[in-house]
Amino acid sequence: MSGKTLYDKIWDAHLVHEAEDGTCLLYIDRHLVHEVTSPQAFEGLRMTQRTVRAPDKTIAVPDHNVPTTTDRANGIENEESRIQVEALDRNARDFGIHYYPVSDVRQGIVHIVGPEQGWTLPGMTVVCGDSHTATHGAFGALAHGIGTSEVEHVLATQTLIQKKSKNMKVEITGRLAPGVTAKDITLSVIGHTGTAGGTGYVIEYCGEAIRALSMEGRMTVCNMAIEGGARAGLIAPDETTFAYVMGRPHAPKGAQWEAALAWWKTLRSDDDAHWDKVVTLRGEDIAPVVTWGTSPEDVLPITAAVPAPGDFAGGKVEAAKRSLDYMGLTPGTPLADVPIDTVFIGSCTNGRIEDLRAAAAILRGKKIKDGLRAMVVPGSGLVRAQAEEEGLAQVFIDAGFEWRMAGCSMCLAMNPDQLSPGERCAATSNRNFEGRQGKGGRTHLMSPAMAAAAAITGKLTDVRDLMRQQ
């Protein structure tokens, strides 16, 4: 019998019941909740007179709808958004779950707040009514998104009905070159496997280049596992993980820390574990990349040119035609010649302190291109505070960026932060779908350093060119 993968181990440790047809009941250690996908679930509990089974394991924070302007203490203007946030306020209070309201400095994007507060720990099962729950896999936790009826199911039972996925290994060997980041890894993997490449799998990312990443970088990689089609992405915990977790408000302390650590150290795939699919990329081969189309798999090195539909095969030919038309791009144009209107630095993919440091390092002492709109939306109030303390906020402000309050903001444009039709944006978020950042808006995904470089030149830019000048 072959050994177990990390996914197998976490799965087995949370199995409550397995039916003959393979349907499993899985115990959920942490349930994260935000305002958009939860109202009907709480309403369902009320109607059936059920309670939240484990309020202590349930954490709520509003993020999708909240304004990110500094005057937001005055309330939310859009009525539907306001009602959703107020509903979460009330539900959190009524059901006694942990809550970080808009006014709390710890408020932020749910996937940034969870790890920051030590709610997310290695070996856990973590769910949220949000597809980017995969982020938490960076800790060696099994983490994925669920629908509203499942949110209600977890609230009521602290379990989820699941069938097991297959195991996929994505190995990034060697080292990254200067100017290449976690975002370039995760985009390159999706560019390589396609958005359906991970369908039916849970991905474990491994290899020297992954091990060398900080926790922030690992979260960026796992965050986009969903864009690669996978149910979840995870990375085995190691000293980097333990150092990040230690001392966080909800991390174990004292003897419990020691006990936890002992178990966490066993959380790695056995050498003889069976993999259903393996993908290997060389770290040295990864360049700073951008997306050119309207699917996260439309990834190219910044040194490349806009492709032509004929470069593709099958259904992708039509898709590429449509993408290029929507994006307003002409095949053959060097990507580094594409002018942009807007820069958005933020989201659960790249809204952490390390991301802001990377962007500020490029921007220090520089100005953004005249006429450009540029904003930084820190992933949480604590990230914002730390960036202010480190002087990063001033770097952004001096360069001409708007310095915003925490939230999802222009990642999905549910609040007033939106692109107008035709507006072209260099974004550090995770989805470049049509209309994602506003109707008719054009999104190019990239790393924070690349977004900062684009802000300076006013076009898509190879950050390495600017680094050479520095």
Partner 1 sequence: MDKFTTLTGIAAPLPQINVDTDMIIPKQFLKTIQRSGLGRNLFDEMRYDNDGNEVLDFVLNRPAYREAQILVAGDNFGCGSSREHAPWALLDFGIRCVIAPSFADIFYNNCFKNGILPIALPQDQVDLVMRDAQRGANARQTVDLENQTITLSDGTAIPFEVDGFRRHCLMNGLDDIGLTLEKAPAIDAFERQAGQSRPWV
Quick check: 110 and 104 in contact, CB under 8 A?
no
- Contact between 87 and partner 1 by CB under 8 A: the answer reads yes
Rounded to whole angstroms, the Cα distance separating 30 from 155 reads 10
Shortest spacing between CB 434 and partner 1, in angstroms: 23
Q: Is 128 annotated as a binding residue?
A: no
Shortest spacing between CB 118 and partner 1, in angstroms: 10
Which pairing describes strands 24-27 and 15-18: parallel, antiparallel, or unpaired?
antiparallel
* Binder of residue 8, out of partner 1, ligand SF4, none (CB less than 5 to 8 A by kind): none
Residues in the chain: 470
The pair of structure tokens assigned to 393 is: 């906020």
Q: Is the dihedral of CA 314, 316, 320, 321 positive or negative?
A: positive
Give 143's contacts (C-beta < 8 A, 6+ positions apart): 120, 124, 125, 126, 127, 128, 133, 134, 135, 136, 137, 222, 232, 234
- Contact between 256 and partner 1 by CB under 8 A: the answer reads yes
Nearer to ligand SF4, 350 or 457 (CB): 350
Q: Is 411 annotated as a binding residue?
A: yes
Rounded to whole angstroms, the Cα distance separating 127 from 115 reads 13
Rounded to whole angstroms, the Cα distance separating 179 from 446 reads 12
Q: What is the contact mask toward partner 1 in residues 100 to 139, using x (rule: CB under 8 A)? A: ---------------------x-xx---------------
DSSP, res 459: B
* Binder of residue 130, out of ligand SF4, partner 1, none (CB less than 5 to 8 A by kind): ligand SF4
Residues 15-34 that bind partner 1 (CB under 8 A): 16-17, 25, 27, 29
Q: Which chain residues interact with ligand SF4 by CB under 6 A? A: 63-64, 109, 111, 130, 132, 347-348, 408, 411-412, 429-430
- Contact between 64 and partner 1 by CB under 8 A: the answer reads no
Nearer to partner 1, 29 or 130 (CB): 29
Rounded to whole angstroms, the Cα distance separating 159 from 155 reads 8
Shortest spacing between CB 62 and ligand SF4, in angstroms: 11
How many beta carbons lie within 10 A of that of residue 357, not counting itself?
17
Give 176's contacts (C-beta < 8 A, 6+ positions apart): 184, 185, 209, 212, 283, 284, 286
Nearer to ligand SF4, 209 or 408 (CB): 408
Distances from the Cα of 394 to the Cα of 67, 111, 310, 390, 455, angstroms? 21, 26, 46, 9, 16
- Contact between 433 and partner 1 by CB under 8 A: the answer reads no
Shortest spacing between CB 159 and partner 1, in angstroms: 6
- Contact between 149 and partner 1 by CB under 8 A: the answer reads yes
Query: Which listed residue (58, 65, 84, 107) binds partner 1 by CB under 8 A?
Result: 84
Query: Which listed residue (156, 304, 317, 319) binds partner 1 by CB under 8 A?
Result: 156
State which amino acid sits at residue 455. Answer: A
Which pairing describes strands 159-162 and 24-27: parallel, antiparallel, or unpaired?
antiparallel
Nearer to partner 1, 111 or 153 (CB): 153
Burial code (b: 16+ CB inside 10 Å, e: under 16) for 242-253 equals bebbeeeebbbe
Give 162's contacts (C-beta < 8 A, 6+ positions apart): 23, 24, 25, 26
With contacts defined by CB under 8 A, name the span among 158-166, 175-183, 325-333, 458-466 that binds partner 1: 158-166
Shortest spacing between CB 427 and partner 1, in angstroms: 28
Shortest spacing between CB 415 and partner 1, in angstroms: 17
With contacts defined by CB under 8 A, name the span among 99-107, 145-153, 167-175, 176-184 that binds partner 1: 145-153
Which residues are part of a known binding site for [4Fe-4S] cluster?
Answer: 348, 408, 411
Applying CB under 8 A, which residues contact partner 1? 13, 16-17, 25, 27, 29, 39-40, 43-44, 46-48, 50, 53, 57, 80, 83-84, 87, 121, 123-124, 149, 152-153, 156-159, 161, 252, 256-257, 259-260, 263
